[in-house]
Each structure stands twice: as C-alpha cells, then as structure tokens.
Structure 1
C-alpha cells in the first residue's frame, strides 16, 4: 500500500463548510434543523409502510427503500460534520474516511437504480394496470430492491479500494465537510487520470443508464395519460409522476454536475454546496414530496395517531 511511506499521522483534516461567524452559526443551525426533519420524516415513512398492511404494495415497498437509503445517507455525513464543528476536532481517520466513502457512494448508487425501479413501477401501473400484480409481484420488487443495494455496494467497494490506494501528499486537508472522492483526489501526489476516467464510466452506468430507463418509462406514461378519458385519472397520474420527476431532477442534476466533470474544472465551494443540497436537503424533501400529497399515507398516519390516543 502507498500509505506505508507516509507519515505516522495518516488522519485527514476535514475543513468543513462553516466557520464560527454569526451567519455561519445560523446556517449550521439550519442544517441541524433540516437533518432532524429528514431523520424524523424518513423514519416515519419506513415505520408507517411497515406497520400499515394497506401500504404493503410494490409502490410503497420501493418508497420505504428510498426512505431507508435517505435516512442512512444523512447519517453518513451530517453527524460527523456536526461533531467536528462543535468540538473543533476536524480530523478523520483513514478507516473512518474509507467507511464514509463506501457508505456515501453505495447509497448514492443504490438510490439511482431504485429511482429507475420506481419509474418502471409507475409505467406498469399506468400503462399495464391489468398485468400490474404479475409484472410487479413481491418477488420482482424484492429483486429490484436487492439489485439496487447490491449494485450500489459494488460501486462503493470499487471506488473506496482505488481511492485509498493512492499516495497522498503531506497536506491532508480535504476541502469538504465529508470524505468525498473528487475532493480526496485533489490531495493525491500521483496521477489520478485513469481513476477519474473510471469514475466517469461508473457515473455513466450508475447515472445515465437509470436516467434512460426513467425517461423511457415516463415518455410511455405521459402518452398513456394523454389518452386517458377520465379527467380524475389523468390528474392523479400526473400528481404521482410529477412527484417522482421532481425528486429525479433534483437528485440526478446535482450528482451529474459533481461527478461527471474533470477534477481540473472543480470548485470546492460549488462542490460543497451541491453536495449539501443532495445529501442533506433532498433526503428531507423526499418524504414531503411523496407523502404530504398522498391520501393513503395521510390515512395511515392518522390511523397510527388514533391508535396512540386509544392506547393512552
């Protein structure tokens, strides 16, 4: 390993995103509020879908997987960032950095494929409603979810293994609030061009392939919705699909901007802002976008509240 020739202190320094000015203290407090809302919202979604048998359908099963991924994603980055900011200890060990990279990359990849699976689910529900129970069986949903987790984990293993095999210079200050691969590569003493090309290829597979599936699914969905005779059915279909497309646009747009550019074109400030957007803000918005406008989720929530009051 290239690390053997490095100094005994192999820890990295996370420069973070906030200082202790009044403005940054306000934004740090805002991030903690968003983290709390995202944690509670995604936890509530997972529990509601597990507890309410009427939500045991393919769409809600996939949604529960999305909420679980978002929950794990915010817990991968925000707690460490908050601890470093509050304690003033900005170091992160090599093992912790590798774990953070693996978790972060795996969850991003898994969510990419899961969003494609959710688009396919909506395509089947709207375009082939009579065959929905066959095409989206419990076995098929389980396979889609397991494949998403597995492919994301494979991408995480590859990227963390290669990223931590490079030699890094004496300056170990990462211009980010977590161990992100593009930010880490700026510290390498060796040529990382081959690895950057590998990342680009991974992004094509992990981002563009699911996007192609999503676009193909929704083109079919839009055509089917236009041909619908029922105005109510058309409205309901557009509401469901627009929620998904809103999430897809936010998530993929930021991810492509960060990971499909060469290192020479990167701006640490922009990378930190966009990373904060889709690792902190998007996990909070997903439960709101998918759930608040959904009568079935609202009914399940009121049902749970009713049981709680009865138990009292």
Structure 2
C-alpha cells in the first residue's frame, strides 16, 4: 500500500507520479488547443514532438532516481496527451483527490489505475461535477491551502479557467482545519503571456522561506500583496511577463533545499544558488510549449 503524505510543496520527496510523452498523437487542430501557448506553437509549426518531450521527461526521471525517489508512470494510452499528471489529481495529507478536468482528458486518470489500487479506497475522493478543480491550482502549505481560481461571472467563457469557487468551497469542507486561501488569476484564451493557466504558472512557494511570483498573474492586487507579505518581499523572486510565459514559476522541489529547474532559467537558477539551493537543471523547453512545466508534470504522493 502507498501511505500518502503531503502537507506542503517542499518536504523531502519519497514517491511521485511522473507523466509520459511517448504517444501524444498527431498535432492537435487549432480549435482543439486547450491553451493559448499550445495554439501559438500549432500555428507556428513548432509544436513539440513526442521524441523530444520523452527525452526531456527521462532527464527528470533520472534526477528523481538520483535522489532515491520512487517514480510511478502512467500506462501509455495511444495518441493521448499524458504529460501533465498534476492536473488530474493531487494529494493533501493522506487524501488522493481526483480533479474535475476537461472532458477530453478524462481517460488520463485511468492510466494511473495501478497507483490508485495501492491507495486505501476510503482515501480517494472525487469532487461533485459542478465543483471544478485541477491540481495546478492547489498548493498545500502547512496550515494553509493556496488555491488559484477565477471569480468572474464569465468563468464559463474561459477554457483557461480550471478551478471555480465551488471547487474552492468544497476543498474547505474537506479540510475544515485548514485555511483555504483563494487567488483570482488573470485569464486569456488567446494571449499566452497574459494567461495564468493555474496558480503554479504565476507563483510557487520554495524552501528556506522563499517564493517565486509574477505580480501580473493576479487580478486583485490585495491578493498578490497578501502573498508578498506572507513570505516577505525580500524572499520573493519576481518574474517578468516573459519569464512567466517561459514557466519560471513552475519548477519542482525535491527537498527544502533541492529543486529541479529548466536549464534556460539562468536568472532564476543563479538566484536560487545564491540563496543556498541545489539546482538540478534539465532541458524542458519543448514541454513548456504546452503551457506546463516541471510542477505540472509531477504528482507527489509521499513527502517526509
């Protein structure tokens, strides 16, 4: 049995699901793109290949194995995008929560059935159909759960709005002893550098009291300020629009002082090293073309 245990984003990682990219299928038609960045690369003829993305994910697997992390992979579904397993489920404490994701992606959860069979069934939770939530929007942080959402009445107009207020409220019911803190994110169906698809596209807490943040990803300045006050301005690495577009906030912590980061994030990686982090650099620029990066493609199951 897998004894789930996740209370934050940074404690020493012991077990994780890592997505896969070996059978993504043909390049999607433009009208089937789930986000503006994918659409941009479909139009430009630069959409990533399975081969390139598989090589990138294999590099991440090697780093995880170097740190003795148990790595689970979904079984392969032909012609189906299975990279971003953080979207489909997430763990808080000892509960495995199945996300309400876009209908087109519903088979992804079946591909981690082998993992779910090793989890106590009473710990597996599904949200009501009208309570939308995806793992990229959910960050357990000790007594808090940070959640990205979109408050606007036009929520249903945005394919890029993935977590609604009903999802936030349901999470609070599940974890009444936690403070669920929601943040309304900037959404765009058409402009990639003005779209925070998930909370981890514009913010991430790190070890040693640090955090990465992109101010413009937040629609409400007071909510951005709350996070900056929570971590302290001097501890926040602010990324600009281009760095947000490149997914600088979407790195992944293996331990409080160890992160996996994209090798081209030179400004961020230098800052991290200056502040005492071990930075394991991997190539991940091809996967980034689909508006997701390292946090999006990992689903932590056990941290110390």
TM-score, normalised by the number of residues in structure 1: 0.30
Give the structure with the larger strand fraction.
2
Give the structure with the larger helix fraction.
1
TM-score, normalised by the number of residues in structure 2: 0.31
